[in-house]
Chains A and B, each alone.
Chain A
Amino acid sequence: MKSFTVLTGLAAPMDRANVDTDLIIPKQFLKSIKRSGFGPNLFDELRYMDEGQPGQDCSTRPLNPDFPLNQARYQGASILLARENFGCGSSREHAPWALEDYGFRCVIAPSYADIFYNNCFKNGVLPIVLDAALVDSLFSQMYDQEGYQLTVDLAKQTVITPAGEEYRFEVDAFRKHCLLNGLDDIGLTLESADAIRRYEEGWREQSPWLFDVIK
Chain B
Amino acid sequence: MSGKTLYDKLWHSHLVEQRDDGSALIYIDRQLIHEVTSPQAFEGLRIAGRQPWRRDANLAVPDHNVPTEARERSGGVAAIVDPVSRLQVQTLDDNCQDFDIVEIEINDVRQGIVHVVGPEQGATLPGMTVVCGDSHTSTHGALGALAHGIGTSEVEHALATQCLVQMKMKNLLVRIDGELARGVSAKDVALAVIGKIGTAGGTGYAIEFGGEVIRNMSMEGRMTMCNMSIEAGARMGMVAVDDTTLEYVRGRPFAPSGELWDQAVAAWSDLHSDADAVFDRIVELRGEDIKPQVSWGTSPEMVLPVDGILPDPEAMENESQRTAARRALEYMGLRAGMAITDIKPDRVFIGSCTNSRIEDLRAAAEVVRGKHVAPSIKQALVVPGSGKVKQQAEAEGLDKVFLEAGMEWREPGCSMCLAMNADKLGAGEHCASTSNRNFEGRQGFGGRTHLVSPAMAAAAAVAGHFVDVRDW
Stretch from A65-73, A112-120, A149-157, A158-166 that touches the partner: A112-120
Q: Whose C-beta in chain A lies nearest to the C-beta of B38?
A: A33
> Which residue in chain A gives the minimum CB-CB distance to B45?
A186
| With contact pairs A27-B419, A33-B87 given, residues A174 and B19 touching in the complex (Cβ less than 8 Å) | yes
- Set of chain A residues within 8 Å of B91, measured between Cβ atoms: 33
Partner of A16, one of B162, B261, B327: B327
B203 contacts A206, CB within 8 Å? no
B127-179 interface (Cβ within 8 A of A):
127-128, 133-135, 137, 148-154, 156-157, 160-163, 165, 167, 169
Stretch of B22-30, B282-290, B350-358 lying at the A interface: B22-30
Across the interface, which residues of A come within 8 angstroms of B17, CB to CB? 192, 195
Residue contact B441 to A189, C-beta cutoff 8 Å: no
Q: Give the chain A neighbours of B162 by CB distance below 8 A.
A: 196, 200
B87 near A45 (CB under 8 angstroms)?
Answer: no
B41 CB to nearest A CB, Å: 9
Q: In the complex, A199 Cα to B446 Cα: how many Å?
A: 50
Chain A residues touching B, range: 35 or more
Q: How long is the Cα–Cα vector from A160 to B445 in the complex, in angstroms?
A: 39
A115 to B263, CA, bound (A): 35
Within 8 A of B (CB), among A30-57: 30-35, 45, 51, 54-55
- Interchain CB contact under 8 A, B40 and A23: no
CA distance in complex: A23, B36 (Å): 17
Q: Are the CB atoms of B157 and A186 closer together than 8 Å?
A: yes
> CB within 8 A of A206: which of B23, B267, B437, B445?
B267
Min C-beta distance of B61 to chain A, whole Å: 12
Question: In the assembled complex, which residues on chain B have CB atoms less than 8 Å from the CB atom of A16?
Answer: 323-324, 327
Which B residues touch A88, using CB under 8 A? 199-200, 233
Give the interface segment out of B50-58, B68-76, B459-467.
B50-58
CB distance from B413 to the nearest CB of A (A): 14
- A193: nearest residue on chain B (CB-CB)? B161
B256 at the interface (CB under 8 A from A): yes
Contact code string B337-372 (vs A, CB < 8 Å = 1, else 0) = 000000000000000000000000000000000000
Contact residues in B for A17 (Cβ distance below 8 Å): 320, 323-324
For B19, the chain A residues whose CB sits under 8 A away are 174
What's the Cα separation between A113 and B300 when bound, in Å?
14
A144 adjacent to chain B (CB < 8 Å): no
| Cβ B420 vs Cβ A27 within 8 A | yes
Is the CB–CB distance between B440 and A22 below 8 Å?
Answer: yes
* Chain B residues closer than 8 Å to A114, beta-carbon distance: 169, 203-204, 233-235
Given B40, B55, B133, B437, which contacts A20 in the complex, CB threshold below 8 Å? Answer: B437
Choose from A22, A27, A31, A115 the contact partner of B150 (Cβ within 8 Å). A115
Asked if B439 CB lies within 8 Å of chain A CBs, one says: yes
| B 34-53 contacts with A by CB, 8 A | 36-37, 39-40, 43, 48, 50, 53
Report the minimal beta-carbon distance from A55 to chain B, rounded to whole angstroms: 7
A55-B84, A91-B133, A206-B267 given; A189·B161 CB < 8 A:
yes
Q: Which residues of A have CB within 8 Å of B23?
A: 172-174
Tell whether, in the assembled complex, residue A31 and residue B323 are in contact, meaning their CB atoms are under 8 Å apart.
no
A50 to B199, CA, bound (A): 29
Question: How far in angstroms is the closest Cβ of chain B from A187?
Answer: 8
Which listed residue, A18, A32, A55, A192, touches B199 by the CB 8 Å rule?
A18
Question: A residues within 8 A CB of B235?
Answer: 114-115
| CB<8 Å pairs between A and B, sample of 7 | A45-B440, A114-B203, A189-B25, A189-B160, A189-B163, A199-B16, A214-B56
Contacts A115-B235, A118-B154 known; list 7 others, CB within 8 Å. Answer: A22-B442, A90-B135, A93-B153, A113-B233, A185-B157, A190-B160, A206-B267
